[in-house]
Chains A and B, each alone.
Chain A
Amino acid sequence: MNKTMKSLLLVLTFMLIVLITGCNGPKLELKTENNSNKIAQGESVQLVVNETGDVTYEVTKGSAVVNATGLLTCSEEAEVGSRIEVVATSETGTAKLTLSVEQAKLKSIELSCDSTEIKKGQKVVLTTTLNPAYAKVEGVTYTVTKGSEFAEVVDGKLQIKESANQAEIIGKTIEVTATTLETGLTDKVELTVVEALVEELILASDAETLSYGKVVNLNVSYIPVFAGGNKEYSLTIVEGLEIAELNGLELRVKEGLTEAEIVGHVIRVKAVLNENAQIYDEIEIRVVEAEQINIVVSDKTFVAGENATEALLPEAYDANFNLMDLDATDFTYTSSNENVVKVGANDGKLTPVGHGSAQITVSYRNSSTTCEVFVIVVPEAIEFSGLSTHVLTSRRYYYAKHETLSFALDITPNENYARNDQNVQYKFELLNEAGEVVNSGAEVATISEGAITFHTVGSVRVTVTTDSSLNGKNTASHEKSTSIVVNVNEGINIRTLQDLMAYTDYSYRGKAANFINTIKLDAENNPGLDDALRYKTLEFEGDRYMYGNGYVIDLLDLPLSGSVGNSNDFLRFLVFGSENTHTLELRDLEIIGVCDIDGLYVGNNAADKGKEAVDGSYKRGIRIGRVQQDGMGICTDLDVINVKVSGFNVGLRFEHVVDGYASDINVSQCASNGMELNQNIITLNNITVGQVGAFAIEMTPDDMIKEADGTIHGTSGLGFNEAPRTTLTGYIKSTNYNNGKSTKYMESLQLSGYTIPEILMMIVSQKIQYVAQEAASQTGMTVEQCQGYLADIAYRCLFKDADPSQSLMNFFLLVFIDPTEEVFAGFTDGNKNSIFGTYESGEEDGNVISIDKVLMDAATTVINGGTYDEYKNYKYVLMDLDLTSAMGFNLGEVLVVNEYYNK
């Protein structure tokens, strides 16, 4: 078939149809405006008819409505695929239109969300609105199209990623796009990121209960955890403030409460956000009984100033008695008496303050214990006071038994620690001569109210010991003590001149006089000291024991009193009664007279100052012995020990003493000789001579064997027929020189027509030669060398100082022999090599003095390269008394003279 045929056929068909229809006449026709027989859910379509007259429309089937104008609206709920039939009725008839319902079509979507802002932790719901709403959509996807690095959509909700750092994204924009799956419709929405703030506070604790001494640690957290903004909060105890306290986040029970006061209480703590009081949280902590802790700490005895450790060392044991790992600083400490001991509140270090005991309370948590700290403050020293220096030095005190003795004590307090009182303990021991204790306790002496009553005579050692003991603590090793031996005797104690005068009574023979204070011979202290008594000799007969205890009889207040004659001695032990032999013991006494070395008054009476005093005052300080062989007794047992005399014409004179011993004698400031010894058998030991007007010691023996006939004219000994012997031991020290001045006595002195300087010259020169020979033989040096040395030694020893310009007149010491005795002849006749040759009587080695020894020692020193300093001491210790020297010589008389006046 060709094309033309086909077209013709079509036209014919068309024409047929028109013909057929046209044939039916005008007929109501109904159709949709768009001539569709389909309608979508909810869709409205305009129905049209082919007439202009009145037409009514009716939905006869299906879910739709039609209005009078023919607008057919399909119900939104109409079932897809169902049919809607509409009938139009007009005058010309009816027409029916059937439409099939089809799915409504989506036109657009709208994306929305419930907030324009988003913060971390927030989930913003994304909502897509369909247009029309009843349109069906297969699905919508949401995409973060802006800000996807920190935002995401999860389950249709927009949120900030967990990993996002809030601080970095605040203010940023997030764009979310919704896209329909089938139709590809899209919509967008934008949100701004804002800061997430605290929404909720959470207050927590590490324990639900609190006990005394423990700490509950609180914790405050935020929701959201990443919340920014001002997160400050306030923590307060809203309940239980009376028993608990907060320190930061630490909650604890207040100090000082008992278990009963706190156990069972509830502590409520509230945390409130400062920015927003509506945001808060509360917690409840219940107070329960504390765990039992046991503290133990040792007592401490603290001897102030002596302890090495000064801190307490407490230990704490838990409820199972296990040692807790605590240091001393974990405990707290208080002292019950800070006047005794202070304790470091947090370290337990002790600071002793004063004598006594105190309790230290050591606490840990709610447990505590106490220990006792004893602070024993021992004084620095204890010493007797009010006694003479001599008594304190010698530790010996002579005292009469019939009197009680109260010692004053000088207790030197511990300078660093306080103590109000100090007890002392007395101990009494009777000693024998060897110093051994032979008895002690109440049989020896007792003490009552500080007064000691002696129940025996003899040497009683009184020991006073501080008693610092506390609570029975043995403090013996720390105590200080002092002791003194009291020589208890049956004598009397001498306090005044009157006492001493009373002692002159013969009835006191054989008894002791104990000086217990200094006696000043003035009217005030010695009433009755009138002119009649002044310069009265105090004469003692029989056995006498005079113990000065180091005290002084001070005569300086005595005015001069005309001429009292040469025989007036102050203390005279001259006549020893009818018995043949007597004992005298005189010790530890000083007597001060009014003379100076020129015999002028130097006492305290202004009117007498500078006057000639020799004839107006006592002549001798002490005179012992006798002169004449008249059948009277003599002193056969003499001990003069530690006696010091000054200010008289002659200090001390011994005459015809047998078995005498004078030791530690000090004589000075006498107008004539310091000591005079006449016809004694006596030992002198340790004699010190100060400046005197004449010779320090004058010895005048008259027992010489006359060279002419060999007869002995001795006057010593019991029978007045023995040679006097003066044994020198120890030392003789002399400072009897006067720096170039002379005394009146020496200025007028000549011996056998020779001046003293002349005598000295000869002595020294000869002696040097003699000793040089000996020295040469011992040292291997030549005599000349030794002479040179010795000359130098002698010069340096004997001269005041080493200046060669000084003359020989500077001698200040001389061993000198009285020219009136024959021994001196050796010097004058020139036949002998030396006046120091062996004394011809030669009967006693005891009288040997070795000046040689002095010089030899000095020679050795020089030969060995000694210095001037080493031997210049010989200036003062000039006589080293060597009793064994073979080179010795017997001295009839030793005079220690003063530096002689250079005429």
Chain B
Amino acid sequence: MASANISVTRNRKTSFAKKRARAGFYFVIPASIFVLVFFLYPFLNVIWMSFQDWPLLGERSWIGFENYRTAFQDIEFINSVKFTLLYTVIVTPLLFFTALGMALLIKGTSRTTKFFRTIFFLPVVIGFGPASYLWYWFVDSRVGPAPQFLRILGFGDQEEQWLGIMPLALFVVIVMVVWKFAAFQMILLMAAIQGISKEILEAAEIDGAKGFTLLRTITLPLIKRTISLVLILSVAGSLLAFDQFYIITGGNPNGSTLTTVFNIYRQSFLQFQLGYGAALSVLVAIALMLISLIQLRVLRGDDHE
């Protein structure tokens, strides 16, 4: 603190410290107002709404835990949670191992390496919206290049829409997400790997560690904290998936790819069951809070410890 080192008479020092404290408070006021109005108020509001029957038009009424009771018996909600978990369980390891492989490939500093790094990263910066519409077209059985490519390779006539068949529709979204997002994790893992000191790696090499042994016994343990960060970010992001399913599968075939957030969107904004939508939102918020608490615990340490 700057004020601590400036020795004047005692009195003047306290008033100086007070002034500084007030100045500090002024600096955070504008941001705090935004957070209070556009985050804390709606957050308290969502809890309050979740205890009410709240149609868009017409009377609302306090119904206690009824919305929550409904949720736990609502097949559509339960299925959406199951599907979201399935998606998360599949996409998280796929993303991670792809990203780790890419990070090892481009962790150098040569110009060629940087060039490849930039190319790999391009899909990350384009939004989920355009990326999803791109893939929606890319896999269309009539006009899409992907089915056409398989046709050329001799894999049948590809007449059926991939997005109309269940495991295939999920598979398309997963490939798209890995394509779009792996490089994000790649950059974080790469930075962590670059941070490992050369001496450690060289010492391990002299001891005879090579290839995957080196990776498994030295590198990965040393970047444990970044791995946790990447995994938690990926789990949290997957549990909140919406854009890619809304656009690519529309929740189909037969509502089998309806995610939790997609379900909330339908309850709140298509059927206007705002109270029920709020209750589902609270349940999602609780799940995500638990994950964040794990995150804070895990991330307290540092890499290279």
A binds B: no
Hey, which bits of chain B sit against chain A, CB under 8 A? Answer: none
Binding site for B on A (CB under 8 A): none
